Amino acid sequence: MSSGSESRSDAPSLLETRGLVKEFGGLVATDDVSIDVKRGERVSVIGPNGAGKSTLINLITRRLDPTAGDIVFKGDSIVNLKPHQVVQRGISKSFQTASIFPDLTVMENAEIAALAAENGEFGFNFLTHRDKLTSVHELAENTLESVGLLSRAGTTAADLPYGDKRRLEIGIALAAEPDLLLMDEPTAGMSPEETQATVDLIEEVKEELGLTFVLVEHDMEIVFSVSDRIVVLNRGRVIAEGTPDEIRGNPDVQEAYLGGVEL
């Protein structure tokens, strides 16, 4: 896992998008988006529906090819990489839905991700017994402990309550040992208690692992409580950027995104 948090202001960029454009036919989903995420920073991307948040995430994870622009991670362009290679470089994604392996046990779910982290994208080890891969098992165990699911290790993932499935999903993303974690609406569809538990989890991960993350979220309360910096998108463009306090008081944001509602 990545270590410690450096001082943010002079920390090097971990992820940078440079003039990112994505067009679907005539529609411009992402229009010249340049964001800069420093190592150890917690950045939230907010914006109304259709603002281009999901497109931005999909571009970074390489599910979509940009029409123009570049994505630089740890100093290298990742625009020509495949999705799994991006993960191997250190960008992991937590999905909007509980994207898990339902028929496998909780432990196996974590082990899959740990295997990819420890073993690389592919190996010819089809005659190696799994018990020999102790580092994979240890990493999976540590990850489950950090998301509070170790006591359910033997449970079939499909049998978990929804909140725990989401935690497992975040656990899978963490077990890939990322430098940067992309979280796509981590509390979507959760009850208030589950939402609170997830916020606690994010806070904890943030403290313990010093992870850099980019959060896409609708729930303003979460965004304002966990972010160092907020990027506001509207119609594919960055319309504002700043600390939670700055964003809270920004009239443009209130007009475009919050519809003039006082926060």
Partner 1 sequence: MSDPNTTSDGGTVVADESLVSRWERIREREATVVGLTAIAVALFPWLFARAPVVSDVLLGYQSLATLILIWGIFAVGFDLLLGYTGLLSFGHAAFWGGAAYAAGVVANNVSADPIVMVVSGTLFAVLLAWLLGFLSLRRGGIYFSILTLAFAQMLYYMSAAPLAFLTGGENGLTGITVTPLFGLFHLESDLPTFAGELLGTWLYLFVGVFAVLAVAAAYRILNSPYGMVFRAIRENEQRAEFVGLNVWRYKLMAFIISGAFAGVAGSLFTIHGSYVPLQSLYWTESGEIVIMSVLGGTASLFGPIIGAGLYLYVENIVSGVQQLTVPFTDIVLVNDFGTYWHLLLGLVFVVVIWVAPRGIWGAISDVREFVWDRVGGDRR
Residues whose CB falls within 8 Å of the CB of residue 17, separated by 6 or more in sequence, listed in order: 33, 34, 35, 56, 59, 60, 69, 70, 71, 72
Among 51, 59, 144, 209, the residue binding partner 1 under the rule CB under 8 A is 144
CB of 260 to partner 1, least distance (A): 36
Number of residues that bind partner 1 (CB under 8 A): 54
Per 3-state DSSP, the chain is made up of helix, strand and coil in percentages (nearest 5) of 40, 25, 35
CA distance linking residue 140 with residue 28, whole number of Å: 41
| Nearest one of 209, 205, 211, 220 to 181, comparing CA atoms | 211
Sign of the CA dihedral 179, 184, 189, 191? positive
**Using CB under 8 A, which residues numbered 155 to 174 contact partner 1?**
172-173
Site membership for partner 1, residue 36 (CB under 8 A): no
Nearer to partner 1, 178 or 244 (CB): 178
Task: For residue 229, give Cα distances in angstroms to 38, 42, 174.
Answer: 10, 6, 22
**Using CB under 8 A, which residues numbered 85 to 124 contact partner 1?**
85, 87-88, 92-93, 95, 99-104, 107-108, 111-113, 115-117, 119, 121-123
Here's the x/- map for partner 1, 189-208, by CB under 8 A: it reads as: --------x--xx--x----
Q: Is 148 left (phi over 0), alpha (psi -120 to 50) or beta?
A: left
Among 3, 9, 75, 129, the residue binding partner 1 under the rule CB under 8 A is 129
CB of 248 to partner 1, least distance (A): 28
CB of 216 to partner 1, least distance (A): 15
Record the tokens describing residue 143, joined without a space.
Answer: 């990850």
Nearer to partner 1, 79 or 201 (CB): 201
Site membership for partner 1, residue 149 (CB under 8 A): yes
Give me the residues that bind partner 1 (CB under 8 A), please.
61, 83-85, 87-88, 92-93, 95, 99-104, 107-108, 111-113, 115-117, 119, 121-123, 125-131, 133, 136, 141, 144-145, 148-154, 172-173, 175-176, 197, 200-201, 204
